[in-house]
């Protein structure tokens, strides 16, 4: 089979080729696993973090990709819950121990033995992949392959972030940053909280215009203050300044949910601006999002089908995966990027 692999880590420039196309033996499913013939795979900012060494794979070479969509082709031994021909998705959560207190209460995203697809195990930038059947998600018929791919990460992590805000319908919600996850959250909010106005903070004018076109009542730069204080804010940026500004824009008792796998080491000087009275007093809260659980993915896929959520998608053939990565890093993102593999 063909696969795109990370062979070494390093900073990605506009002329970089961070992935190498290779041919390797098709994998065989082990006990409790399934072999999936992949149709497509979403491209995520986390892949940049893997390739540049901020959240590196355990070993190299590694096939990245954790928004994988395909059809089950073969079952491993002891596998009875899924059948060949079933269309499925594989998300960031590749496996967990299943036995610890976090797994037992449905927070398997917090498990110490959490394994990530495309980082700790080979992912979806390939023609075939294997995955544990317990972490494979049958896809609703209402979602096409291309639409389902970004739902598995950008959509599911956005859904988890929205749940963690404890928002009530009618309360005001803010979002800092407006990339692939945020544009799907906007569609969720309209369906789940139809009376909640959304305020967006984004650096680029194109992102602010896009947010307004999707129904935001206000869009401003990161440094701007909204016309009203907000009940909750979801941050999807890798920077520190939005954290400081978001805490200034919260009502008493408001909650900031940080949906970011990392924050940049540079610019931590922004944190020196934090003052207790301005940013933290009046029982304001900060909560972080860690990975996604199986519950997040399965619940969001059903929700997306029910609400007819359709992401905006830009498609690339798998052979152009390097170009997709370069575009994601250096060009404004509108919607999600998806690699077409066996369409």
Q: From 3.40.720.10, 3.40.50.11540, 3.30.540.10, 3.40.50.720, which CATH number describes the 156-288 domain? A: 3.40.50.720
**Does the pLDDT value for residue 268 go beyond 70?**
no
Going by C-alpha positions, the residue among 283, 296, 289, 275 that lies closest to residue 106 is 296
Structural contact between residues 196 and 167, judged by C-beta atoms closer than 8 angstroms: yes
Q: What is the 3-state secondary structure (H, E, C) of 98-120?
A: CCCHHHHCCCHHHCCCCEEECCC
pLDDT recorded at residue 20: 97
Q: How large is the C-alpha radius of gyration of the chain?
A: 20
Q: What is the pLDDT of residues 114-138, one digit of tens each?
A: 999 999 999 999 999 999 999 999 9
Strand partners, 198: 173
Structural contact between residues 171 and 196, judged by C-beta atoms closer than 8 angstroms: yes
Which three-class secondary structure state does DSSP give residue 142?
A: coil
Residue with tokens 């080491």: 265
Structural contact between residues 18 and 51, judged by C-beta atoms closer than 8 angstroms: yes
DSSP state for residue 240 in the 8-state scheme: S
Classify residue 49 by burial, with Cβ atoms within 10 Å: 0-12, 13-18, 19+.
middle
Q: What percentage of residues in the chain have a pLDDT greater than 90?
A: 77
Task: Using alpha carbons, list the distances in angstroms from residue 312 to 98, 126, 305, 315.
Answer: 35, 23, 15, 10
Q: What is the pLDDT of residues 93-116, one digit of tens each?
A: 999 999 999 999 999 999 999 999
**Per-residue confidence band for 198, with pLDDT thresholds at 50, 70 and 90:** very high
**What φ, ψ does residue 252 adopt, rounded to 5°?**
-55, 135
Q: What is the full DSSP assignment across 272-303? A: GG--IIIIITTT-EEEE--S--HHHHHHHHHH
pTM: 0.90
Q: What is the pLDDT of residues 57-75, one digit of tens each?
A: 989 999 999 999 999 999 9
Strand partners, 75: 34
The class level of CATH for 2-138+312-340 reads alpha beta
* Span between the terminal Cα atoms of the chain, in Å: 15
CA–CA separation, 300 and 156 (whole Å): 6
CA–CA separation, 222 and 243 (whole Å): 10
Residue with tokens 């073969």: 74
> For 287, what's the count of Cα atoms within 13 Å in the CB-facing half-sphere?
18
Q: Determine which of 42-46, 76-80, 221-225, 231-235 has the lowest per-residue pLDDT on average.
A: 76-80
Q: What is the full DSSP assignment across 48-85? A: HHHHTTSS--SSSSB---SSEEEEEEEE-TT--SS-TT
Strand 218-220 to 2-6 pairing? unpaired
**Does the pLDDT value for residue 332 go beyond 70?**
no
Q: Domain-by-domain residue ranges, the chain?
A: 2-138+312-340, 156-288
Which three-class secondary structure state does DSSP give residue 27?
A: coil
pLDDT recorded at residue 271: 73
Going by C-alpha positions, the residue among 204, 146, 156 that lies closest to residue 343 is 146
Q: What is the pLDDT of residues 165-179, one digit of tens each?
A: 999 999 999 999 887
pLDDT recorded at residue 166: 95
């Amino acid at each position: 089979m063909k696969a795109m692999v990370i062979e070494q880590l390093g900073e990605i420039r506009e002329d970089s080729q961070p992935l190498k196309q290779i041919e390797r033996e098709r994998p065989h499913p082990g006990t409790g696993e399934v072999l999936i013939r992949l149709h497509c795979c979403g491209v995520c900012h986390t892949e940049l973090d893997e390739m540049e060494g901020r959240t590196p794979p355990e070993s190299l070479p590694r096939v990245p990709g954790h928004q994988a969509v395909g059809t089950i082709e073969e079952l491993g031994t002891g596998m009875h819950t899924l059948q060949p021909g079933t269309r499925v998705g594989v998300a960031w959560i590749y496996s967990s121990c299943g036995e610890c207190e976090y797994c037992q209460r449905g927070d398997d995203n917090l498990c110490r033995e959490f394994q990530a697809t495309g980082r700790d195990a080979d992912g979806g930038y390939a023609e075939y992949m294997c995955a544990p059947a317990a972490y494979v998600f049958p896809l609703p018929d209402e979602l096409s392959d291309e639409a389902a791919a970004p739902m598995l990460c950008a959509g599911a992590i956005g859904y988890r972030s929205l749940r963690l805000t404890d928002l009530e319908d009618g309360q005001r919600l803010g979002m800092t940053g407006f990339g692939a996850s945020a544009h799907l959250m906007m569609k969720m909010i309209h369906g789940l909280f139809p009376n909640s106005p959304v305020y967006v903070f984004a650096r680029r004018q194109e992102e602010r215009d896009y947010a307004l076109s999707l129904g935001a009542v206000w869009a401003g730069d990161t440094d701007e203050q909204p016309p009203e204080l907000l009940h909750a804010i979801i941050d999807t940026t890798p920077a520190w300044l939005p954290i400081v500004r978001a805490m200034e824009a919260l009502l008493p008792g408001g909650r900031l949910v940080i949906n970011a796998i990392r924050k940049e080491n540079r610019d931590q000087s922004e944190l020196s601006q934090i003052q207790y009275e301005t940013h933290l007093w009046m029982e304001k809260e900060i909560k972080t999002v860690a990975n996604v659980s199986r519950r997040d993915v399965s619940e969001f896929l059903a929700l997306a089908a029910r609400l007819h959520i359709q992401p905006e998608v830009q498609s690339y053939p798998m052979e152009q995966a390097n170009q997709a990565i370069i575009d994601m890093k250096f060009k404004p993102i509108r919607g999600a990027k998806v690699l077409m593999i066996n369409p």
